[in-house]
Structure 1
Amino acid sequence: MTNKLTELFKNKPKNLLNIFFTAGYPQLEDTHTLLDALENSKVDLIEIGIPFSDPLADGPTIQDSSKIALENGMSIEKLFLQLENHTPKTPLLLMGYLNPVMQYGFEAFCKKCKEVGVDGIIIPDLPMHIYQAEFKEVFEKYNISNIFLVTPHTSERRIREIDTNSTGFIYAVSSASTTGSKTEFSAATDYLGKLREMNLHTPILTGFNIKNKQNFQDACSYVHGAIIGSEFIRQITDVEDISKAAKKYIQSIKS
């Protein structure tokens, strides 16, 4: 499988910065503004969250952004309309839960992702056996990478199964808590060290509790890169200019 995501890992195998934001937050039409700001800031990947009323893996910050985005009128249909008018230069990921994707229609969802330039999908509550039996061929048909999550409680056997079935990267959750918790990133270093020692074939990005340049650098010393979500949402909340705030924050990470 070759798409912008897999090409990225071939050309830049380390120090990758993935920024997450919630579609439709702070305002419904801010998707374009944030995409442009992040691409101009030269982030390596952009992950857009599809707001959902019951986001199991998300902490209060992202939950609140999802709630506001839904109130603003964001939906999968609306997000696809927004992305139709944007030609992505950076590998683009969508993160969403299985229920709304199934309501949209799984193959229709993947087909539309392909049409608007999405390279990978993260569905935290998609079971491996269902992926293998029902959806793997659909992902492959539309050249979409499926990204699985692992946690400190994931068994080595399960991690190796995920490694075998991954076509993009493995999302290593740095703690068993929800995103944006107050757990210090340093608590994840033993876990990330163990993942590194497993010599997996698939690149690894770690997320949850990456807040600043030091966290980012620490993460990249263990795995291929880091994902920043909750902290980025905080940085664009209650500001006059979200584009300026986004660029300033990315500069603080990359400088």
Structure 2
Amino acid sequence: MKNKLTELLATKPSQLLNIFFTAGYPQIEDTNRILSALATAGVDLVEIGIPFSDPLADGPTIQESSKKALENGMSIERLLSQLEKQDLDLPVLLMGYLNPILQYGMKNFCKRCQEVGVDGLIIPDLPLQIYLNEFSGVFEEHSLSNIFLVTPQTSEQRIREIDRHSTGFIYAVSSASTTGSKNQFATATDYLKKLKDMQLETPILTGFNIKTQSDFKTACEYVDGAIIGSEFIRQISHGEPLEDKVKGYVQSIR
């Protein structure tokens, strides 16, 4: 499979910085402003959250941003329409839950994602077997990488099965908590070392509880990069200019 994500992973195999933000937050038309600012600031890839009323894996910060985005009027169709106006070299991933995507229609959703330049999907509640049996063909047809999550509780056998079927990177959740918890990221190093020692074929990015440059550097000692969401959303939640806040935070990590 070839898309901007797989090209990035082939050409820059380490120190990857992936920033997550919620579509339509703080304001509904901020999606493209944030995307453009992140591209200018030099992140490697971007993960955009599709707001959902019951985001199980997300902590209070992302839940609140999702709630506000829904109040602003954000929807899957609105997000896809916004992305039509973008032309970025940056790989773009969408993160969303299965139910709204199924309501939209998986085939139509994947087709529209390809049309607007999306390179991959993260659907935390899409089981591996259902993906393989029902949806892998439509993902491949539209050049969409599917990103699976693993946690400290995922068995080695399961991790290796996910490795065999991954078409982008593996998202290593650094703890059993929700995103943005008060857990210290440094406590995840034993788990990340275990993943590194497994010598998987698929690149690994880790997320949850990564807030600072120190966290980012620690993550990159063990895996190929890191995903920052809750802390980034906190940084852009108050005041303008938005672009300066985006640039300042990315520079603080780099």
* 1:116 aligned partner: 116
Deviation at 1:216, TM superposition (A): 0.3
User: In the TM superposition, what is the alpha-carbon distance from 1:240 to its structure 2 partner?
Assistant: 1.8
**Matching of residues 1-255 of structure 1 within 5 Å:** 1-254=1-254
Tell me the CA shift for residue 239 of structure 1.
1.7
- Kindly report structure 1 stretches of 4+ aligned residues shifted beyond 2 Å: none
Determine the C-alpha separation between the residues in 2 that align with 1:180 and 1:229: 8
Computed over aligned residues only, the root mean square deviation of the Cα atoms, in angstroms, reads: 0.5
**Which digits, 9 at most, give the CA deviation of each residue in 1:87-106, with x for residues without a partner?**
12200000000000000000
**Counterpart amino acid of residue 166 in structure 2:** S
Give the letter aligned to residue 104 of structure 2. Answer: Y
Structure 1 gap ranges (5+): none
Q: Secondary structure at the match of 1:90?
A: coil
Note the residue ranges of structure 2 that are not aligned, 5 or more in a row: none
CA-to-partner distance for each residue in 1:119-168, whole Å, 9 max, x for gaps?
Answer: 00000000111001000001111010000000000000100010011000
TM-score by length of 1: 0.99
SS in 2 for 1:46: strand
Whole-angstrom CA distance in 1 between matches of 2:111 and 2:196: 34
| Residues matched between the structures, number | 254
| 1:21 aligned counterpart, secondary structure | strand
Percentage of pairs with the same residue:
69
Write the deviation string for residues 189-227 of structure 1: whole angstroms up to 9, x where unpaired: 000000000000000000001101000000000000000
Tell me the alpha carbon deviations over residues 217-245 of structure 1, each in whole angstroms, 9 at most, x when there is no partner. 00000000000000000000112211110
User: SS of the residue aligned with 2:227?
Assistant: strand
1:221 counterpart SS class:
helix
Structure 2 counterpart of 1:137, one-letter code: G
User: TM-score scaled to structure 2, two decimals?
Assistant: 0.99
Q: Distance in 2 between matches of 1:66 and 1:241?
A: 21
